[in-house]
Homo-oligomer: A and B are copies of this chain.
């Protein structure tokens, strides 16, 4: 190992901060930081362009710890290089309220670029980060002014490399030639159940070669080798780079090095002692940071300040040379989509029946014509999802157009959207059928957990898709999505609710929005202002009187609810129809509004939604009825399925009569 004394001291500082942190928390993953410290040190000390005193500097390189369980490696590096993460934070590892949770959580204030832990997500999200860099660079960079010009580094483990989402994202990255990606794969041959040989014997280099990556195999414990490999990766700008670095999990631990016992539990006091002795480290005090090592790491502060200053000077000059471009960027940071929102069209009943997916396509195009910061595509269902921005080109290897072809890779799409959103300058959207939201769920969850502004265009939102049948008909998906904290699900009932849903998606900056849109045409409802803003609203009512019965519906079922309402009203029943495009938003309203829409005393309630009834008990209570689908769908024309499965005015009226029976009996 060509490691000088200071390097070694610095690397061991990382190792034992991690070891001591895990030991103090009595839980965590010491093996990875011990094994990957050298490699991480090589990257952070010799290559990573960052400014610890301004983690939000837009020109910085990104570092993603895809193997998130090695969080103490990242926390140690952040503290040592001078980020706003104290030694006390490190000592507080995995404790209530700490900034150092078990797995890294997105927190730019202290330099954590994204939440990781669920394997494969860091790897795949980085691909989105690179696509954002490519898009922004191509749009805004000018000769002599490389404003957006950074690399995305990551450390990934065996688990990342095995996950399917990684392969999807890697295939995309190779296809697009994303040279900004420089990934270190810590090939330590150990997984939780033992040697990787028990499950994973493929030729990783061969697989990534085949997907168009630039692949190197090196000794990951040799910082010169790591540094040279990173140099070669930086020089290769036309292909993403994977550096397969042989590492030793639990390096330094006499009993646990290269053993799965080092992975997910503290070493234990005796083994900590043995490891410290083995690597010539003082056993006391814990959390020891030698002054020379600290000074060495903290060099990052001055280097970072200089890097950012150079960038700022360049941006200043750029602003003068290209004021229009600079203004576009500054305006977006200041105002978001205010201008583009004004371009959202309105629809009238004269438009005839419009599928909400078609309305969505029109709205999207109107918005996109007025802002460059909305970018997206579909997982090979563009023509069905209506996700194309018609005036714009495709995102290809040669040109970063605004229409992304994700291929049949829903999961990678979800992660890539997250990566693009993390740029802070783009709001990305992605389309697929609602039923296939399943394939990307782990990425949707991470968007919600990180609070990222991402828009999902989930079309073909019910049995209304018809003939494709049960495999393609979502049943449980609305409930599943609604149960995710901080995800707003909107199922609009017509083109105008769709327009409002998009408006809301553009203004909701602290979490993702999922649109559930019909395949089939729907009439335009009598226009209501801002229908979606309050989550639910009274669409038809019993003219000023307290209703005897309330029908609550969403999406396409609002129309059949209206038909039932007419029958009931004609029969003298005081009925109300509530359109509830978003229960999450409705729940955020004040009690007064909620009680106005759903008066607590009105207990005869029927929900109508062509989906799992799970969740509707909250609104219909113990005395109401949910018309829904607690079964899988059928393959047939949509009209037939709706009729056969009870989404008819007759069925709703019948259920209403059942509820109203007690009125008669009383």
A interface residue numbers (CB < 8 A to B)? 25, 27-28, 68, 94-98, 101-103, 105, 115-119, 158-160, 162-168, 171-172, 174-175, 191-194, 198-207, 209-212, 378, 380-384, 394, 396, 405-409, 411-412, 435-436, 438-439, 441-442, 445-446, 448-449, 466-472, 475-476, 479-480, 482-486, 600, 603, 612-619, 621-623, 629-632, 634-637, 640-641, 644
Contacts and interface: CB of A to CB of B under 8 A. Distances in A.
B407 A199 contact: yes
16 contacts: A95-B636, A96-B636, A96-B644, A102-B467, A105-B469, A192-B383, A193-B383, A198-B405, A199-B405, A206-B209, A438-B441, A439-B442, A475-B484, A483-B614, A600-B622, A622-B622
**Interchain residue pairs A-B with the least CB separation, the first 6:** A164-B164, A206-B210, A617-B618, A101-B635, A117-B471, A617-B617
Nearest to A103: B471
B617 A621 contact: yes
B485 A102 contact: no
B470 A105 contact: yes
Nearest to A95: B636
B614 A471 contact: no
Contact of A396 (B198, B412, B615): B198
Nearest to A396: B198
A372 B616 CA distance: 43
Contact of A101 (B191, B207, B382, B634): B634
B202 A171 contact: yes
Nearest to A101: B635
Given A206-B209, A485-B631, A175 B162 contact: no
A210 B212 contact: no
Given A164-B163, A614-B614, A471 B118 contact: yes
Given A164-B165, A201-B212, A619-B617, A472 B103 contact: yes
Contacts of A199: 172, 175, 380, 405-407, 409
Contact of A640 (B96, B479, B630): B96
A187 to B, nearest CB: 14
A103 B480 contact: no
Nearest to A192: B380
A171 B204 CA distance: 10
B631 A468 contact: no
A37 B407 CA distance: 25
A632 B486 contact: yes
B467 A27 contact: yes
B212 A409 contact: no
Contact of A635 (B103, B471, B600): B103
Nearest to A480: B480
A414 to B, nearest CB: 11
Contacts of A479: 479-480, 483, 614-615
A619 to B, nearest CB: 7
B409 A162 contact: yes
Given A163-B408, A171-B200, A441-B441, 6 more contacts: A101-B470, A102-B468, A162-B168, A439-B441, A479-B483, A479-B615
Contacts of A480: 476, 479-480, 483
Given A96-B640, A207-B211, A193 B635 contact: no
A166 B207 CA distance: 14
A199 B409 CA distance: 10
A94 B614 contact: no
A406 to B, nearest CB: 7
Given A102-B472, A175-B201, A603 B630 contact: no
Contacts of A475: 483-485
A630 B485 contact: yes
Contacts of A636: 94-98
A412 B164 contact: yes
B193 A378 contact: yes
A172 B446 CA distance: 27
Contacts of A634: 96-97, 101
Contact of A193 (B94, B165, B405, B622): B405
Nearest to A98: B635
A409 B118 contact: no
Contacts of A102: 467-469, 471-472, 635
Nearest to A476: B483
A406 B199 CA distance: 6
A384 B191 CA distance: 13
Contacts of A172: 199
A441 B437 CA distance: 10
A167 B211 CA distance: 12
A116 B470 CA distance: 10
A193 B382 contact: yes
Contacts of A204: 210
A200 B27 contact: no
Nearest to A115: B471
Contacts of A405: 193-194, 198-199
A191 B617 contact: no
Contact of A27 (B466, B484, B616): B466
A140 to B, nearest CB: 25
A340 to B, nearest CB: 25
A479 B478 CA distance: 11
A630 B484 CA distance: 8
A94 to B, nearest CB: 4
Contacts of A193: 378, 380-383, 405
A449 B470 contact: yes
B175 A164 contact: no
A67 to B, nearest CB: 11
A621 to B, nearest CB: 4
Nearest to A433: B118
A162 to B, nearest CB: 4
Query: Of residues A25, A622, A632, which shows the largest number of chain B Cβ atoms within 10 Å of its Cβ?
Result: A622
A101 B612 CA distance: 22
Contacts of A198: 394, 396, 405
